[in-house]
Structure 1
């Protein structure tokens, strides 16, 4: 039932919470993100509510702001906002440094800790490109394809959820086969009229424009590619059967408060606390 809750439903939940609790209320996109953020907040003075998506989270804050509700904020993924030059300077809406929370984690030492657990050192030594850089390069075509499909670009409305990465990954070098990737997304979306050649040319053009990969690449795609790379290229015996879910969970568990303190998002939360002295978020 939670996935059917509207922004008004969640705003009403926040109002009900406020009748018995005077501290900060932070709206989070989803329950997975909430499990990570709750490790970094002061749970006596800050409570989290999942909003079932970015649009919902922002709407909840806007609804509550209009009624003069204090001590409310949300953290959402930047997604393609920076590539689209969207102004997101709303005082109670904070965004991730990179495309999403997963890419923030991959940018941190959490990735290095995971590789210590699942990668074979001698295989890493033989590789010419560091794993983090390799993941960005491999994820860039699909990240740009997602951007191309988005409402701010060509509005292709394609379905990327549940695509099978094994159908378009190349092993040597670890990379995405753009032709097969487009076909996989096309079939997954049942958009059989999609002009594959035209889309491929558009992706190649975007690649040449050298957009920031940390803003273009989806964390989910990078985790899928990392899991594939560990299984097929640079993993140890423990990584033979790793899945995207195992890698995603391991990265989150490896990400600690010291890494979070190095982010712009952490500093944004501190600034929000300075502007709202009656309310606390961080431990």
Structure 2
């Protein structure tokens, strides 16, 4: 009930801003998302608004959008992380909602050449040359974590994935993941001691499907944590504090060029939304300078 009231207040605040701003209200999930998307929007035509809350900023963003749509409020668009939406057939299509191409913003960054630029800056050229493909290594290690997160959602297990200690189940030298150690670590974090390790391992195998795109299964935050371990040993020699996940995500955002964004599906969807909702504009044109 409190969450609904909060969404109502957010929607009402946006309605009140309409008297002083005639452009688009772009809803995003967090402050880092705001920083990222503001690089590409036409600021005099688009106001980026952070919608944060529990249990999920994504759910709250959709709730705020739904309230405004029911009141026929024009010029509002929301961008949310896809999470597992692209893998689930029951997800509704919402005209004023755009989902990330991959699981989340961070996976979009890692899929792009921004990753190559960061690795070249922070990694060891000699170690990188000897190491197998870094993206493949990240995805291979991240898939079991992603599947377990998905299973927790589907089966309502309420497992905890915050503040995981990745070094306890991932080898820094090879970036290979020990699935048994992963399951035990998450069980300990979640205090879910009644769950059996073998049952969770079986569920992971059942959920696996070769048709699943790893970029949709893996959570970007998890992949960045794995990358942090890699830069300490497998592909670099950095001190842990210098390649913490938050710092790496910032480096990836800074390395991400506008040309990468223009090649994404999310860019195409926003352009289509602009065409369907004149005179509202979200993105900068080629003539707009930084």
Per-residue deviation, 1:208:
5.5
1:120 to 124, 127, 145: 124
**8 A contact 2:79–2:99 mirrored in 1:** yes
What count of residue pairs does the alignment treat as equivalent?
278
Find out whether 1:266 has 2:267 as its counterpart: yes
Q: Which runs of 5+ in 2 are unaligned?
A: 285-290
Q: Deviations over 1:91-119 (max 9, x none)?
A: 10001000001001111111011011011
Q: 1:64 to 1:208 in 2, by over 3 A?
A: closer
Per-residue deviation, 1:166:
1.2
2:144 to 141, 144, 148: 141
Alignment-derived partner of residue 28 in structure 2: 28
- Runs of 4 or more consecutive aligned structure 1 residues displaced over 6 Å after TM superposition: none
**8 A contact 1:231–1:240 mirrored in 2:** no
Select between 161-170 and 257-266 the one with higher mean Cα deviation. 161-170
Alignment-derived partner of residue 76 in structure 2: 72
Per-residue deviation, 1:190:
1.3
Alignment-derived partner of residue 108 in structure 1: 112
Per-residue deviation, 1:207:
3.5
Equivalents in 2 of 1:171, 1:42: separation in Å?
Answer: 42
Equivalents in 2 of 1:240, 1:191: separation in Å?
Answer: 31
Equivalents in 1 of 2:161, 2:192: separation in Å?
Answer: 12
Equivalents in 2 of 1:180, 1:47: separation in Å?
Answer: 45
**8 A contact 1:27–1:73 mirrored in 2:** yes
Alignment-derived partner of residue 201 in structure 2: 200
Give the 3-state SS of the residue equivalent to 1:82 in structure 2. Answer: helix
Give the 3-state SS of the residue equivalent to 2:158 in structure 1. Answer: coil
**8 A contact 2:172–2:232 mirrored in 1:** no
Select between 208-217 and 273-282 the one with higher mean Cα deviation. 208-217
Equivalents in 2 of 1:143, 1:20: separation in Å?
Answer: 43
Per-residue deviation, 1:154:
1.5
TM-score, normalising length: structure 2:
0.91
Find out whether 1:96 has 2:97 as its counterpart: no
Q: 1:149 to 1:208 in 2, by over 3 A?
A: same
Equivalents in 2 of 1:197, 1:177: separation in Å?
Answer: 14
Alignment-derived partner of residue 40 in structure 1: 40
Select between 115-124 and 86-95 the one with higher mean Cα deviation. 86-95
Give the 3-state SS of the residue equivalent to 1:6 in structure 2. Answer: helix
TM-score, normalising length: structure 1:
0.93
Per-residue deviation, 1:205:
3.5
Alignment-derived partner of residue 287 in structure 2: none
Alignment-derived partner of residue 131 in structure 1: 134
Give the 3-state SS of the residue equivalent to 2:9 in structure 1. Answer: helix
Give the alignment's Cα RMSD to 1 decimal: 1.8
Alignment-derived partner of residue 83 in structure 1: 87
Q: Which runs of 5+ in 1 are unaligned?
A: none
Per-residue deviation, 1:142:
0.3
Per-residue deviation, 1:155:
1.4
Q: Deviations over 1:177-219 (max 9, x none)?
A: 1111111111111111111111012213334545210110000
Q: 1:35 to 1:196 in 2, by over 3 A?
A: same
Give the 3-state SS of the residue equivalent to 1:68 in structure 2. Answer: coil
